[in-house]
Chain A
Amino acid sequence: MRALAMKEWIKLRHWLGLIGLGHLAFGAWFYLSMRHQFRIEHAEMIYYQANRIGRLFYDDLRYVPLATGAVLGAAQFLPEVLRGRLRIAMHLPMGLGALILAHLGLGLGLLAVVLAFDLGILAGTVGAFFPGPFVASALATAAPWMLAGIAAYLGAALVLLEPDRRTQAVNLAVAGGVVALCHLSAAYNAYDGAIWGLAVLVGLMVPATLRAAARFRDGGTG
């Protein structure tokens, strides 16, 4: 496992650097943008817009986890499937399931760090300008966006590991559908009653990815 972690770190570190810089820049812009809102408008007006009209003041964050998950998934699995390079790992003395789960676990762990940073920026920024209850609401509102990021990561793995072009297209449609479900509504707390069901749906992409990897081993070269 340490060897795999070393390999994944070396493979992804430049991408992680870029992603980290991107998120830092986004965080700074997000904070400054919010501060600007409060400078040009009265705070009471903004609270009114948020509370009564339902205007979302952190909509800019919406697609950031999605893009991050997709980029990270592609950066991790594209080099593995190019020229069928995944066969090297598949011959390592460990089971296929454990191998793929280890790769996914490492990728999801890194993604979780980035998404936690995003949530931290969101909570910190909202907490700096809005009353306390807005923070919990913002985190609940952003939760499906985070799930979309995880779905995009797993979707990238699912699509890239699949050796059959037709099944790859189906996997792409399925992954796109799951991501779309995570973005059906941008209203405050829209997913409060559905977030766990959505999380289970996203989780089901893990065994699907294992099946794609098994098909890769059984005859595909990517």
Chain B
Amino acid sequence: MCAGPITGPARMTGKRDGIRHLRQIRAGFAGNGTMSAPAIAVQGLVHRYGPRTIHDGLSFTVPEGRILGLLGKNGVGKTTLIRILMGFLTPTAGTCRVLGDDSHALRAETKRRVGLVFEGHLAYDFLSIAETERFFARWYPRWRRDVFWDLVERLNLPPTHRIRHMSEGQRSQVVLGAVMAQDPDLLILDDYTMGLDAGYRRLFLDYLVHYARAGNKTVLVTSHVVQDMERLVDDVIFLRRGGDVLQTSLSDFMGRFRHYHLPAGAAPANLPTPAAPLHGLEREADGSLSVFAFAGPEEMRAALRTAGIDPAGIRERQMSLEDAFVGYTGKY
């Protein structure tokens, strides 16, 4: 059931590389080498809002049992993609399959296997905690009452407490409890961090991680708090403006993507356009230069010289995922 890790950064630019990308990654292969159907399979996805193209031939898969973070700056199409995956938006073209069904036409039995956490922790705020549990329990044969109450009882609120009288953090726990109690095979979470303070974010994350790992659940998650992803995800997909997509395992990305620092004066006033293996050049406030690349120090020195940048004084810097995210997607 659990797929092997994705071994290298697979990079694609929409249509051109989508199929190649699918071949590159080992997503969808079980540990014994046999093929297992991916939990999510997106192929040649195109979406436009009027004349504006959001996705142009996007393809990726999410293997069963993996936790995948969908990362990208505002406006790159994360919400659009999540809405398509949740079945609340019809793509202009391409296919998007969730547990084998067209995401826009999930059968009832497939819906039972998919748990959704909507942005802002949508809930029926006119229901109480107990009524929420009673309402959802009727729809899901695998309903885990113990899971729901284990999480919700930590709020120290009476079961008669109405959702509308809860804080955002409290509501997030009820929503997560309801979704986890469904015992779904696939969870899709749209920006679960919205409105949560650090404490509730941590609580939400700890529960989610434990639940997903223990139950071998597949999880697709987006969040604006990138640092949380480091504790949660196995794999990441970076969406960038212009349709560039990178899908890779988190460990591989963090192992291969490097941040180098050069003192002020090492580069000309007008920074050159980065070419492979250089990925990004950022002038810092003090005039020094940050260079991001999928390359080791030796290869970097050569690449910098080619770009007209003096590599003397180059230092590699440790990065958090958030640093790497900003380095990969750019500050602006």
Contacts and interface: CB of A to CB of B under 8 A. Distances in A.
Interface of A: 2-3, 6-7, 10-11, 79, 83-85, 87-88, 90-95, 217-219, 221
Contacts of B83: 219
Contact of A10 (B89, B120, B126): B126
29 contacts: A3-B134, A3-B139, A6-B134, A6-B135, A7-B127, A11-B126, A79-B124, A79-B125, A79-B126, A84-B118, A85-B122, A87-B116, A87-B118, A87-B122, A88-B118, A88-B123, A91-B86, A91-B87, A91-B111, A92-B139, A93-B109, A93-B111, A94-B108, A217-B87, A218-B88, A218-B90, A218-B104, A219-B83, A219-B88
A83 B125 CA distance: 12
A219 B54 CA distance: 14
Contacts of B154: none
A221 B123 CA distance: 15
Contacts of A217: 87-88
B15 interface: no
Contacts, number: 64
Interface in B214-254: none
Nearest first, the 4 closest Cβ-Cβ pairs linking A and B are: A93-B108, A3-B138, A93-B111, A93-B112
Interface residues of B, number: 28
Nearest to A6: B135
A66 B134 CA distance: 34
Nearest to A1: B138
Given A3-B139, A88-B122, A10 B88 contact: no
A217 B109 CA distance: 19
Given A79-B124, A79-B125, 7 more contacts: A6-B131, A7-B124, A7-B127, A83-B120, A90-B87, A92-B139, A219-B88
A6 B136 CA distance: 11
Contacts of B87: 90-91, 217
Contacts of B41: none
B303 interface: no
Contact of A87 (B86, B109, B126, B134): B86
A218 B87 CA distance: 8
Contacts of A79: 124-126
B87 to A, nearest CB: 7
Contacts of B138: 2-3
Interface string B79-95: 00001001111100000
A85 B124 contact: yes
Contacts of B125: 79
A6 B138 CA distance: 11
A212 to B, nearest CB: 15
A182 B104 CA distance: 39
A181 B156 CA distance: 55
A10 B127 contact: yes
Main secondary structure of the interface of B (DSSP, over half): loop
Main secondary structure of the interface of A (DSSP, over half): helix
A94 B140 CA distance: 11
A2 B108 CA distance: 17
A211 B109 CA distance: 24
A94 B110 CA distance: 10
Given A6-B134, A7-B127, A7-B135, A90 B88 contact: yes
B118 A218 contact: no
Chain A CB count within 10 A is highest, among B125, B131, B135, for B135
Contact of A92 (B104, B111, B127, B131): B111
B114 interface: yes
B84 to A, nearest CB: 10
Contact of B124 (A2, A88, A218, A219): A88
A59 to B, nearest CB: 36
A58 B122 CA distance: 46
A80 to B, nearest CB: 9
Contacts of B86: 87, 91
Nearest to A98: B108
Given A85-B124, A87-B118, A95-B108, A218 B89 contact: yes
Nearest to A219: B89
Chain B CB count within 10 A is highest, among A11, A79, A91, A217, for A91
Contacts of A221: 88
A91 B114 contact: yes
Contacts of A84: 118, 122
A26 B83 CA distance: 47
Contacts of A88: 118, 122-124
A79 B111 CA distance: 23
A27 to B, nearest CB: 28
A93 B139 contact: yes
A218 B122 CA distance: 18
A219 B116 contact: no
B313 to A, nearest CB: 52
B199 to A, nearest CB: 24
A10 B124 CA distance: 10
Contacts of B135: 3, 6-7
Nearest to B162: A10
